[in-house]
């Protein structure tokens, strides 16, 4: 058990420190790297409590896909321009501070509720309608619950994601004029007769190509 708790404290310490570093570090790319470290240590914590499926999905989805997109966006931004904006002369009057305060206030109250709920944890666990058996692997038990009791919620969330995806494509899609597209069928089915065109070129006039 000692080793278990040592590992727990190591991972949670890394998680907390890197979460702080996400907000503190001045270089935005470093922030994203710390965010990735945070995700990884949290998925390690998931694995330590036996939720190996959740831990792995956390790694695959957040670290493998979402954080890569974050990193893309942040790298594309002009980082040098943003460096030390809080302290720079181009102070924007602090218009973002009220919203930031509101969000952090909400998060603070949510944390209080979560920590307050800790007291009633045994009652909450007993009131669960799903019986958690340690015999089957947790991948199987998640599947059993997700595809039976919560199938409608599962499908609705899938539909929402689909709509969001199509919406994002529609919003960013722009038809550009003059784009030459490659058509494999056209290329392959081209014959010699249509590919080569013999033209009598007139003197001092030339031939108009691509007409």
Partner 1 sequence: MDSYFSILFTEVYKILFLLVPVLVSVAMIVWLDRRVWAFVQKRRGPNVVGPFGLFQSLADALKYIFKEIIIPASSNKLVFVLAPVVTMTLALISWAVIPFGEGFVLADINVGILYLFAVSSLGVYGIIMGGWASNSKYPFLGAIRSAAQMVSYEVSIGVIIINVLLCVGSLNLSDIVMAQQNLWFVIPLFPMFVIFFISALAETNRPPFDLPEAEAELVAGYQTEYSGMMYAMFWLGEYANILLMCAMGSVLFLGGWLSPIDIFPLNAIPGPFWLIFKILFLFILFALVKATVPRYRYDQLMKLGWKIFLPFSLFYVVLTSSFLLYFDLLPGK
Smaller CB separation from partner 1, 107 or 166:
166
Of the candidates 9, 72, 109, 147, which one interacts with partner 1 according to CB under 8 A? Answer: 72
Q: Is 158 in the site for partner 1 (CB under 8 A)?
A: no
Of the candidates 1, 4, 23, 65, which one interacts with partner 1 according to CB under 8 A? Answer: 65
Q: Is 168 in the site for partner 1 (CB under 8 A)?
A: no
Q: Is 70 in the site for partner 1 (CB under 8 A)?
A: no
Residue 147's closest CA among 157, 155, 158? 155
Q: Is 155 in the site for partner 1 (CB under 8 A)?
A: no
Of the candidates 16, 75, 101, 112, which one interacts with partner 1 according to CB under 8 A? Answer: 75
Q: What residues numbered 11-30 form the site for partner 1, per CB under 8 A?
A: 27, 29-30
Q: Is 139 in the site for partner 1 (CB under 8 A)?
A: yes
Q: Is 35 in the site for partner 1 (CB under 8 A)?
A: no
The 3-class SS string of the chain reads CHHHHHHHHHHHHHHHHHHHHHHHCCCHHHHHHHHHHHHHHHHHHHHHCCCHHHHHHHHHHHHHHHHHHHHHHHHHCCHHHHCCCCCCCCCCCCCCHHHHHHHHHHHHHHHHHHHHHHHHHHHHHHCCCCCCCCCCCHHHHHHHHHCCCCHHHHHHHHHHHHHHHHHHHHHHCCCCCCCCCCCHHHHHCCCHHHHCCCCCCECCCECCCCC
Rounded-to-integer distance, Cα 156 and Cα 189, Å: 45
Q: Are 32 and 74 in contact (CB under 8 A)?
A: yes
| Shortest reach from residue 175's CB to partner 1, in Å | 17
Smaller CB separation from partner 1, 19 or 57:
57
Q: What residues numbered 43-62 form the site for partner 1, per CB under 8 A?
A: 52-53, 56-57, 59-60
Q: Is 66 in the site for partner 1 (CB under 8 A)?
A: no
The residues of the shown chain that bind partner 1, judged by CB under 8 A, are 2-3, 27, 29-30, 33, 36, 52-53, 56-57, 59-60, 63-65, 68, 71-72, 75, 137-140, 182
């Amino acid at each position: 058990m000692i080793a278990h708790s040592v590992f727990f404290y190591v991972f949670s310490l890394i998680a907390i420190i890197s979460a702080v570093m996400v907000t503190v570090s001045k270089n935005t790319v470093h922030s994203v790297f710390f965010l990735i470290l945070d995700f990884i240590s949290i998925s390690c914590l998931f694995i330590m409590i036996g939720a190996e499926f959740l831990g792995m999905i956390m790694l695959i989805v957040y670290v493998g896909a979402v954080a890569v997109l974050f990193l893309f966006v942040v790298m594309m931004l002009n980082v040098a321009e943003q460096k030390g904006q809080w302290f720079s002369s181009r102070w924007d009057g602090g218009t973002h501070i009220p919203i930031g305060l509101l969000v952090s206030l909400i998060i603070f109250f949510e944390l209080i509720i979560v920590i307050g709920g800790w007291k009633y944890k045994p009652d909450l666990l007993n009131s669960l309608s799903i019986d958690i058996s340690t015999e089957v692997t947790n991948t199987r038990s998640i599947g059993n619950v997700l595809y039976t009791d919560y199938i409608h919620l599962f499908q609705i969330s899938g539909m929402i994601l689909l709509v969001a995806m199509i919406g994002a494509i529609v919003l960013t899609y722009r038809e550009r004029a003059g784009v030459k597209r490659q058509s494999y069928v056209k290329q392959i089915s081209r014959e010699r007769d249509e590919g080569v065109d013999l033209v009598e070129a007139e003197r001092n006039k030339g031939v108009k190509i691509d007409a």
